[in-house]
Amino acid sequence: MAKFLLLAFRNVFRNRRRTLMTLFMVGGGVAGLLLVGGFFARMFWGLREHTINSGLGHIQIFTADHFNRDEVRALDTGIDNWRQVAATVKTGGHVRGVAPRIEFYGMVSNGDKSSVFMGTAVDPVAENGLGFFPTTFTSGHDLDSKSGGEVEALVGAGLAKSMNVKVGDGLTVLSMTSDGALNGVDVEIVGIVDSGVAEMDARSLRITLPAAQRLLQSDRVTNLVVGLDKTENTDQVAAELAPRLRGLPQQLVLKKWIELATYYKQVRSLFSTIFVFLGIIVFFMVLMSSVNTLLMTMFERTREIGTMLAMGTPRAWIVALFMLEATLIGIFGAIVGVLAGNLLGVLLNHSNLHLPPPPGFTVPMSFQVLHVPSLMIGSSLLVIVSLALASILPAIRASRLQIAEALAHV
């Protein structure tokens, strides 16, 4: 059997030029998949971290009723004893911080003109404790939790533009209280926010938690946002937290970031589909061109196969030999491809290239690829299987040769 493997191995390197071309093609396919897949993986990673760190957090806690809520009266389904819940969560491992938030909606007006807003009320100190990306301001500064006088507000760049306001200007915020009455508060704009997502910035408004609670006439919060040390720990922490939240009077629900990151999931599924499609293309490209090459090889070796068959080699051995040779080419091609793909990846990561901003984003993206082991294994298996399949037809043809004719073949 070792000799048989040796025979296959040496046969692979018999026609060096042809083998090199096949290796080039197979390796190119694998390297291409690694680069594209590595870029996508890096993009998913970037989007994930961006999504989590620009506010989503790793885990959010809601009441169970929140998901059947009446959107206008936001706090009807809020968390009552949120300070206690937050304290409980904070004692868990890997938890960096817990921040209470209120999500509310309403109208904002500058006197001339009004617009719909999506509001978030935050505790600036707790928010900072989450360890997320600092908010980027086009002008102004963050909310100050201790300020006593005027109610401070941050507005998105788009909203500021449409309302025609700048830092220092005032706006009137209107929203519905828990008991259904309309309430309003005058706010002073202290900062204009550029989150990088244009659609968010067109509607976003942020005020402090106490201000919002006064506006909405409630002590509750909508949700608690939990920040962890690392995204990879999300599942573990969620599993540990769930039972600890069960003892509380209100029935709470724990949502991991992935359950809340709709855009991330859409992007991921779109690009995964593109990648699968690319994989299929590479698979068939390798399959088609190798069938041809392998048939040529088989044809050239007709007399040799005839000789082996004449000497009493079982036909199944000939099939096995040809398939083994092709599989070896696949393995070598995969090795070449993985090496080339990783090398190119390293070069790319060092070249500091930038791509135009992805859809919905305003900042350019750096062209980086990740080295993903599962991609290396997957694309290697893909080409190896492709070559093994490509060899079936030539292998069967070789094994079915008429010996006398094959021996007379020149």
Which residues does residue 193 pair with via DSSP β-bridges, in sequence order? 137, 156
Among 139, 313, 327, 342, binds other proteins (CB under 8 A): 313
Does the footprint of other proteins cover residue 15 (CB under 8 A)? no
Does the footprint of other proteins cover residue 76 (CB under 8 A)? no
Stretch that binds other proteins, among 7-15, 143-151, 160-168, 192-200 (CB under 8 A): 7-15
Q: Name the CA radius of gyration of the chain, rounded.
A: 31
Stretch that binds other proteins, among 62-70, 243-251, 291-299, 312-320 (CB under 8 A): 312-320
Among 307, 327, 342, 349, binds other proteins (CB under 8 A): 307
Q: How far apart are CA 231 and CA 226, in angstroms?
A: 11
Among 111, 148, 312, 356, binds other proteins (CB under 8 A): 312
| Strand duo 114-122 + 204-208: pairing | parallel
Q: How far apart are CA 192 and CA 202, in angstroms?
A: 11
Shortest reach from residue 333's CB to other proteins, in Å: 20
Does the footprint of other proteins cover residue 314 (CB under 8 A)? yes
The residues near 284 (Cβ < 8 Å, ≥ 6 apart) are 386
Shortest reach from residue 288's CB to other proteins, in Å: 27
Q: How far is CA 337 from CA 22, 35, 199, in A?
A: 12, 10, 41
Residue (309 or 375) nearer to other proteins, CB: 309
Stretch that binds other proteins, among 50-58, 70-78, 261-269, 402-410 (CB under 8 A): 402-410
Among 5, 14, 67, 266, binds other proteins (CB under 8 A): 14
Shortest reach from residue 402's CB to other proteins, in Å: 8
375 near 295, Cβ under 8 Å? Answer: no
Q: How far apart are CA 318 and CA 135, in angstroms?
A: 67
Residue (169 or 304) nearer to other proteins, CB: 304
Q: How far apart are CA 237 and CA 243, in angstroms?
A: 11
**Per-residue tokens: 286:** 């390798």
Residue (33 or 309) nearer to other proteins, CB: 309
Does the footprint of other proteins cover residue 304 (CB under 8 A)? yes
Among 116, 125, 310, 353, binds other proteins (CB under 8 A): 310
Does the footprint of other proteins cover residue 315 (CB under 8 A)? yes
Shortest reach from residue 311's CB to other proteins, in Å: 6
Stretch that binds other proteins, among 66-74, 180-188, 305-313, 333-341 (CB under 8 A): 305-313
Q: How far apart are CA 27 and CA 248, in angstroms?
A: 58
Does the footprint of other proteins cover residue 7 (CB under 8 A)? yes
Centroid of chain to Cα 353: 20
Does the footprint of other proteins cover residue 320 (CB under 8 A)? no
Does the footprint of other proteins cover residue 404 (CB under 8 A)? yes
Shortest reach from residue 388's CB to other proteins, in Å: 21
Shortest reach from residue 231's CB to other proteins, in Å: 53
Shortest reach from residue 307's CB to other proteins, in Å: 4
Does the footprint of other proteins cover residue 113 (CB under 8 A)? no
369 near 381, Cβ under 8 Å? Answer: no
Does the footprint of other proteins cover residue 4 (CB under 8 A)? yes
Total chain residues near other proteins (CB under 8 A): 23
Shortest reach from residue 312's CB to other proteins, in Å: 2
Residue 147 identity (one-letter amino acid):
S
Shortest reach from residue 384's CB to other proteins, in Å: 22
Does the footprint of other proteins cover residue 303 (CB under 8 A)? yes
Binding site residues, other proteins, CB under 8 A? 3-4, 7, 10-11, 14, 303-304, 306-315, 317, 403-404, 407-408
